[in-house]
Structure 1
Amino acid sequence: MKRFLPSVQTRAQASAQRMMMVYCPNPVCPKPENPSTANFCQACGSALTVSDRYRLKSLLGKGGFGRTFLATQLTTESAGEGEGRSPDRPPLCVVKQIYLGVSSLESKFGAEAQRLRRLGEHPQIPRLIEAIASTQGYFLVQEYAPGQNLQQKIETKGAWTEDRVRSLLESLVNVLQYVHSFQIIHRDIKPANIVSPSITSDRKVTLPILVDFGAARSIRHSEAKTIIGSAGYAAPEQSMGQATFASDVYSLGLTCLYLLTGLHPFDLYSAVEDRWVWQDYLPTPVEDRFAQVLNQMVARSLQQRYESMEQVALDLQSSQNLLVEGSQKIITHAKRSVPGLKSALGSASSTALNRLWSAGQQQLYKIATAKTATSSTVITREQTWRRRHRLAPDIGLVRSLSISSDGRIFASGGIDGAVRLWKLPSGKLIHSFTRRLLVRTGHAAAVTALTFHPDGKALYSASEDGTIKEWDRAGQCLLNTVPTAGWTPNDLLVSPDGTQLVSSNSDGQIVVWDIETLLPAERLTQHQKRVTAVAISYRGELLVSASDDGTVKLWKRQQIEGKWQLRLAKSLTVVPQKEGGVRGAIALALQTCDQVSGYRLIVAASTEVLRYDVNEHLEISAPITLYRSTYEIKAIALSPDGHLAVGGEERSLTLWNIERGDCAAKLAHDWGIEAIAFSPDSQTLVTASTDEVISIWQRNHS
């Protein structure tokens, strides 16, 4: 230990000596460092005091536009009037020396000073003390923000928690909304330019401070096209000199990823997979909806990224509300019905539980007391369905289900990104395809859709991580990963002949994949918004798609130049578009009638289920309302023998006989329903509900 003490002392002495130095303001001085007792530079003879008021103590940063110093104020009386002077300001300040050419120097300097003066009115942006234009050069003097910047904080103490990052993000989004309101882009948002929140002597937490507006420019001026920014944090379009407000969104998003992982953005992007893989490096997984916000912030394509901080703020608020409400539902139900969780939650902070209850009680009261269309549904025949198994395996919310063609296995996909295989009808867990760090065999985000191949050997899954994966059911291993260019696939199906996989995507496209090569064979691009669901006829000659644009489209398979291709044959408006945006069709089912080419098309549109009869010429009848609810419908499924299952936020699943048009059963659930799947023999039904329970129902023939 003693061997190293002298070197430690030497470093400390060197640091103290540097703090006792004073910098020469002459930008071309060959040796700018001087003893603090000097009044004139020992190398070039320049005065070491800027405007007789500021001494440059240490160099904070240097770039093509100038240098930034930590400085001390020698006096407070001589600061200019009208420059935001305060009699109680600290002796430390930041002095930025600007390098500009002779032409238009004064106008550019004046514009930057005016910009900083306006921006400094925000409490989380350093205030401009004064602007100095003299024979020594051009200087901007700003308040000094004490404390470590975020990069220093992470390097010394490690990655932050999700709650801490979310809080900081919400705060900085508000700051940048203010900045952007002046049509100004920061262009250099990074951890080193954000001073970390600190705790004051009275234990109050201060807000983060956004610093270094040296690269900021008005979006209206040509300077905004200058190529500038920090490597790794600058958006792709900014690196080409075309910065926009969305460029700041991108940089702020990457700053959050750095805070969550402690890794530079260069380490969080996979060039092989052409996507961000930051979730693989998280010490602790983050809430799914928050991850969605971050992924949309750092999307490399401008079309996929948030356009403004206002959009980010809106989704942050939405994700927070959904998190609180969803947590209350799970906690309340778990304490009531899951013994293992009851004791754990019973010992939790009563304050925390009460806070969750306060946020969600009104919604819970509505669900518990409202009368809906299903409350008066009359079952005309004896109910033959009963719950055989109720599975509460503590795996989180399940959003998708699929049953194999032999009816022996069903698959579930959850918000944790895992795909699980279960036995039917016992409900025994067979295998879990979970995410593995570094190896990346599983999904990195919520699973949105599942479908088995008709031969039952392969299983396909889609995820919010922007990939489709092919799994070997028997070998219980990953076969292939198919990237989808960043868009989320919302639904999947395999053609009846097993040669093609169809995905409906959030970018409004439908992609038909060749299963042998897993390459796109066709792209159908007629929808204007997210495609929510697809269905296919028994022989595969007709594909139907539903979208948030309020339309359902029918695609007919035709032979064109020797190749079978899908062509748009009919477009049906299900939900007329209204101002403010209305969610359109959300689920589909297609039934082939007894006639050679006739179909029954079932469409779930928000709170009602409609039936359309389609003849061989694809002429469509007027709709018949099969079901109407006060609450949103989340899923429908059609059994091979013609029973339609409808589930949503209402706490029961109803089964309807399509041929007779009557209600065959009402299956009670403790909470709303997320996903439904029928077995090929129509005798087994699997449902997933929002209380994280999987139910297996069977038809009783006794």
Structure 2
Amino acid sequence: EVLAKLLPVLDFVHSHNVIHRDIKPGNIIITGNQLGISLPRSGQLDWALLQQALTIESNQGFRNFVSPSYRFNELLGFSLSQPSKDLPSAFYNRCQQLAVQCTRYPTLPIAQRQYLVADASRLLYEIQQASEARSGAFSIGRLVLVDFGAAKSLKGLELMQTGTTIGSPEYVAPEQARGKAVFASDLYSLGVTCVHLLTKVSPYDLFDASTDAWIWRNYLTAPMSEQMGYLLDRLLERAIARRYQSAAEVLQELEGSSIAPMSPSAPIPPLPLQPPKPLQPANQLAFQFPAATSQPPTHPSLQPSFRIARRPKVGMPVIQKVPTIQIEEPELETKPRRRSQPSWRCVQTFESPARIYALALSPTEPILASTSGNTIKLWDVEQFKPIRTLTGHLDIIPAIAITPDGKHLISGSADKTIGIWELSTGRQLSKLALHSDTVLALAIAADQATLASSSFYDPITLWDLNDGYKRHGLMGHSARIDALAFSPLLEAEQTRIILASGSGDLTIKLWAVDSGEELRTLEGHTHQISALAFNPNGTILASASWDGTVKLWNLKTRRHRTLEVESGRVNGVAFSLDGKKLAIASDTLQLWNVSSGKKLILEPGHSDPVCAVLFGHTDQMLISASFDRSIKLWQWE
């Protein structure tokens, strides 16, 4: 049904030389047939009304107008602010959070309005899926493809040129990930969307990287006809030549083959195109080699018709031997060998099966945590061996943190949830749904009472870890928030804890944790702020940015100085325990003297840019992770 309703839309879009480049469930809106627009009753979500409002707002270019009586944000905000009490708590909280964001809708730029509309559509879809599971089958209405913010219009030879990499990673076609999107790229994304809707499993888990093959059939909960399975397999072909080339071709085969849900006894009509033979697994391929012989084979017919004559020898003049002269060298005084200077040396390397996103070290135990894909790996940094793997998230995990007492690990995922784990056993204790999109950053206060989390356009959430409730929602940034850091808790000075947040709006904000009040805004970077770190006494805040610099902000004098890292992007920073050294993760691993601002030399280590860095339990140990899928332990010796 989804294919039959969206393929004509794609065919129309492609006929105008436009590639959507971001087809996914969140950009597909289900519309109703009602024509009147009025506010729903309290405690009741009118699906058709909200879907129609979302469609109108998207089609008119996000102008915040839905009817002469009501603005779009008023209708959506009122509907979501009073959802039914029967909704699960996760959905109920997300409705409340989205209703708060609707109040800011008139002041948001177009890009953020697009995001909010797509997020509301995704939330309604997920609630409908849950309702369908409880009450039975559900028939969808008209489907509308929205969010053309990533679309590309092609003219002339632009189809052959390399462009920018854009789109949602789990749905994007391989050639689009390399900047070469074509019309068939949208068909690939549509195929991924279909298998995701069929299985309700993240596309990351539906593809087996070890065999380079899709395994979505393993997650089916209902039988499927061979024709539909073949059609989806061809949509998901990684090679463009083996994939459908146009939406019209897919639609013709869909209609011509009469693919529809059939009873198990009904005969399956053959497809006009024969499916390719399935490839054998790599360990079962039978390679045939010619039998070995004692002499190499001869090919008389291939003998050359000419001969190469040897080069004639040319007489060389005879050089008389010159007698050697013995020179007695004076004996040199042997000096004791000078001991080599101490330096940072790599003592151990851990290899990860996939790209590493984040690192965290237990303050009390020699346990290092790293995230790869949707799993968390625990390592023993003393015995240099893996401990266990934690599973439970459905998408990548960009952020992790360990509580100061070393008992719990907290993870933030692109599945929009925050997981709380018992570090000693690896058991997941709970899962929090505090954000409407990917959880980008986490930080835990030194008093272990407060968890801070951030996402794209949601407010920063301060969660009480002891009593389990939301203390504050900090609103002030206008772009995604990738960096959070709490100031240290100093017993000698009765100062309040401060939270620092860094955003894509090029600002750093300081917040009072107890009241949620914004204290100060720091400006100076020219690109996304990617990481923040306080020094041990809380007087200096280090900020890393994709502009290739690190700034050291003195919070007492309100002055700052800049470290020119000479790198494309800076991904992470970490202070040593004594606060005298600053480790920087950029194109290379760098170590700087904080007081003098001089860079210390490190031997080459990673082959790709460094994505995360932290100090060990002593200042003589440094831990770094790279996009080359390795974690390195450095020792000062």
Q: Which residue does the alignment assign to 2:508?
A: 552
Preserved CA contact (<8 Å) 1:490 1:506? yes
Matched, 1:400 2:400: no
Corresponding residue to 1:299 among 111, 114, 122: 122
Matched, 1:420 2:377: yes
Could you say if the C-alpha distance between residues 670 and 482 of structure 1 is closer, same or farther in structure 2, counting changes exceeding 3 Å? Answer: same
Q: Which residue does the alignment assign to 2:541?
A: 601
Preserved CA contact (<8 Å) 1:293 1:312? no
Could you say if the C-alpha distance between residues 397 and 327 of structure 1 is closer, same or farther in structure 2, counting changes exceeding 3 Å? Answer: farther
Instruction: Give the drift of 1:482.
Output: 0.7
Q: Which residue does the alignment assign to 1:591?
A: 535
Task: After TM superposition, list the pairs within 5 Å mapping 1:424-439 onto structure 2.
Answer: 424-434=381-391
Could you say if the C-alpha distance between residues 152 and 529 of structure 1 is closer, same or farther in structure 2, counting changes exceeding 3 Å? Answer: closer
Indicate the SS of the match to 1:629.
coil
Counterpart code for 1:398: I
Instruction: Give the drift of 1:628.
Output: 3.1
Preserved CA contact (<8 Å) 1:673 1:687? yes
Task: After TM superposition, list the pairs within 5 Å mapping 1:486-501 onto structure 2.
Answer: 486-501=436-451
Q: Which residue does the alignment assign to 1:579?
A: none
Instruction: Give the drift of 1:522.
Output: 1.5
Indicate the SS of the match to 2:517.
strand
Counterpart code for 1:536: F
Preserved CA contact (<8 Å) 2:625 2:631? yes
Instruction: Give the drift of 1:536.
Output: 1.7
Matched, 1:656 2:588: no
Task: After TM superposition, list the pairs within 5 Å mapping 1:276-355 onto structure 2.
Answer: 298-300=121-123, 308-313=146-151, 317-319=166-168
Instruction: Give the drift of 1:310.
Output: 1.6
Counterpart code for 2:480: R
Corresponding residue to 1:537 among 472, 487, 491: 487
Q: CA offsets per residue over residues 319-354 of structure 1, 9 Å max, x none?
A: 5789559789xxxxxxxxxxxxxx999xxxxx9899
Instruction: Give the drift of 1:465.
Output: 1.0
Instruction: Give the drift of 1:604.
Output: 1.2
Matched, 1:391 2:350: yes
2:32 and 2:364 map into 1 onto residues whose CA distance is 66
The structure with higher relative contact order (CA 8 Å, sep 6+) is: 2
1:433 and 1:572 map into 2 onto residues whose CA distance is 38
Preserved CA contact (<8 Å) 1:673 1:690? yes
Instruction: Give the drift of 1:300.
Output: 2.6
Matched, 1:274 2:105: no
Preserved CA contact (<8 Å) 1:238 1:244? no
Instruction: Give the drift of 1:419.
Output: 1.5
Indicate the SS of the match to 2:148.
helix
Could you say if the C-alpha distance between residues 432 and 537 of structure 1 is closer, same or farther in structure 2, counting changes exceeding 3 Å? Answer: same
Task: After TM superposition, list the pairs within 5 Å mapping 1:2-151 onto structure 2.
Answer: none
Q: CA offsets per residue over residues 224-273 of structure 1, 9 Å max, x none?
A: 8499xxxxxx9665456664254899xxxxxxxxxxxxxxxxxxxx9564
Instruction: Give the drift of 1:673.
Output: 1.8
Indicate the SS of the match to 2:415.
coil
Q: CA offsets per residue over residues 80-133 of structure 1, 9 Å max, x none?
A: xxxxxxxxxxxxxxxxxxxxxxxxxxxxxxxxxxxxxxxxxxxxxxxxxxxxxx
1:449 and 1:624 map into 2 onto residues whose CA distance is 28
Indicate the SS of the match to 2:631.
strand
Counterpart code for 1:313: A
| Length-normalised TM-score, structure 2 | 0.52
Counterpart code for 2:386: L
1:626 and 1:604 map into 2 onto residues whose CA distance is 10
Task: After TM superposition, list the pairs within 5 Å mapping 1:663-702 onto structure 2.
Answer: 663-666=599-602, 667-691=604-628, 693-701=629-637
Indicate the SS of the match to 1:660.
coil
Could you say if the C-alpha distance between residues 525 and 323 of structure 1 is closer, same or farther in structure 2, counting changes exceeding 3 Å? Answer: farther
2:500 and 2:32 map into 1 onto residues whose CA distance is 54
Preserved CA contact (<8 Å) 2:545 2:571? no
Could you say if the C-alpha distance between residues 491 and 226 of structure 1 is closer, same or farther in structure 2, counting changes exceeding 3 Å? Answer: closer
Q: Which residue does the alignment assign to 2:193?
A: none
Indicate the SS of the match to 1:388.
strand
Could you say if the C-alpha distance between residues 272 and 503 of structure 1 is closer, same or farther in structure 2, counting changes exceeding 3 Å? Answer: closer
Preserved CA contact (<8 Å) 1:407 1:679? no
Could you say if the C-alpha distance between residues 626 and 679 of structure 1 is closer, same or farther in structure 2, counting changes exceeding 3 Å? Answer: same
- Work out the number of aligned pairs and report it: 394
Indicate the SS of the match to 1:244.
helix
Matched, 1:520 2:520: no
Indicate the SS of the match to 2:398.
strand
Unmatched tracts of structure 1, length 5 or more: 1-148, 154-164, 181-186, 191-212, 218-222, 228-233, 250-269, 276-291, 329-342, 346-350, 356-380, 435-441, 558-563, 577-582
Corresponding residue to 1:474 among 421, 424, 429: 424
Preserved CA contact (<8 Å) 2:421 2:430? yes
Q: Which residue does the alignment assign to 2:95?
A: none
Preserved CA contact (<8 Å) 1:636 1:645? yes
Instruction: Give the drift of 1:428.
Output: 1.6
Counterpart code for 1:603: S
Q: CA offsets per residue over residues 285-344 of structure 1, 9 Å max, x none?
A: xxxxxxx99985952379xxx99432253698445789559789xxxxxxxxxxxxxx99
Preserved CA contact (<8 Å) 1:235 1:300? no
Matched, 1:640 2:577: yes
Could you say if the C-alpha distance between residues 272 and 353 of structure 1 is closer, same or farther in structure 2, counting changes exceeding 3 Å? Answer: same
Preserved CA contact (<8 Å) 1:654 1:664? yes
| Length-normalised TM-score, structure 1 | 0.48
Greater displacement, 492-501 / 666-675:
666-675
Q: Which residue does the alignment assign to 2:78?
A: none
Instruction: Give the drift of 1:425.
Output: 3.3
Matched, 1:459 2:409: yes
What is the root-mean-square deviation in Å for CA atoms of aligned residues?
4.8
Indicate the SS of the match to 1:299.
helix
Preserved CA contact (<8 Å) 2:548 2:568? no
Indicate the SS of the match to 2:462.
strand
Could you say if the C-alpha distance between residues 673 and 243 of structure 1 is closer, same or farther in structure 2, counting changes exceeding 3 Å? Answer: same
1:658 and 1:587 map into 2 onto residues whose CA distance is 17
Instruction: Give the drift of 1:542.
Output: 2.2
Could you say if the C-alpha distance between residues 310 and 587 of structure 1 is closer, same or farther in structure 2, counting changes exceeding 3 Å? Answer: same
2:564 and 2:173 map into 1 onto residues whose CA distance is 27
Counterpart code for 2:616: S
Preserved CA contact (<8 Å) 1:609 1:625? yes
Preserved CA contact (<8 Å) 2:29 2:145? no
2:576 and 2:606 map into 1 onto residues whose CA distance is 20
Instruction: Give the drift of 1:174.
Output: 4.7
Instruction: Give the drift of 1:607.
Output: 2.6
Instruction: Give the drift of 1:455.
Output: 0.6
Indicate the SS of the match to 2:151.
helix
Task: After TM superposition, list the pairs within 5 Å mapping 1:218-237 onto structure 2.
Answer: 223=35, 225=37, 237=49
1:188 and 1:659 map into 2 onto residues whose CA distance is 54
Matched, 1:445 2:382: no
Q: Which residue does the alignment assign to 1:254?
A: none
Unmatched tracts of structure 2, length 5 or more: 21-26, 40-45, 62-86, 93-114, 126-143, 153-163, 180-209, 213-236, 242-339, 490-495
Q: Which residue does the alignment assign to 1:569?
A: 519
1:599 and 1:567 map into 2 onto residues whose CA distance is 20
Instruction: Give the drift of 1:683.
Output: 2.9
Indicate the SS of the match to 1:446.
coil
- Percent identity at matched positions? 22
Indicate the SS of the match to 2:149.
helix
Preserved CA contact (<8 Å) 1:487 1:506? yes
Instruction: Give the drift of 1:390.
Output: 2.1
Instruction: Give the drift of 1:152.
Output: 8.2
Indicate the SS of the match to 1:300.
helix
Indicate the SS of the match to 1:399.
strand
2:529 and 2:166 map into 1 onto residues whose CA distance is 25
Q: Which residue does the alignment assign to 2:131?
A: none
Decide which structure has greater strand share. Answer: 1
Q: Which residue does the alignment assign to 1:614?
A: 554
Preserved CA contact (<8 Å) 2:552 2:562? no
Could you say if the C-alpha distance between residues 344 and 608 of structure 1 is closer, same or farther in structure 2, counting changes exceeding 3 Å? Answer: same
Indicate the SS of the match to 1:481.
strand
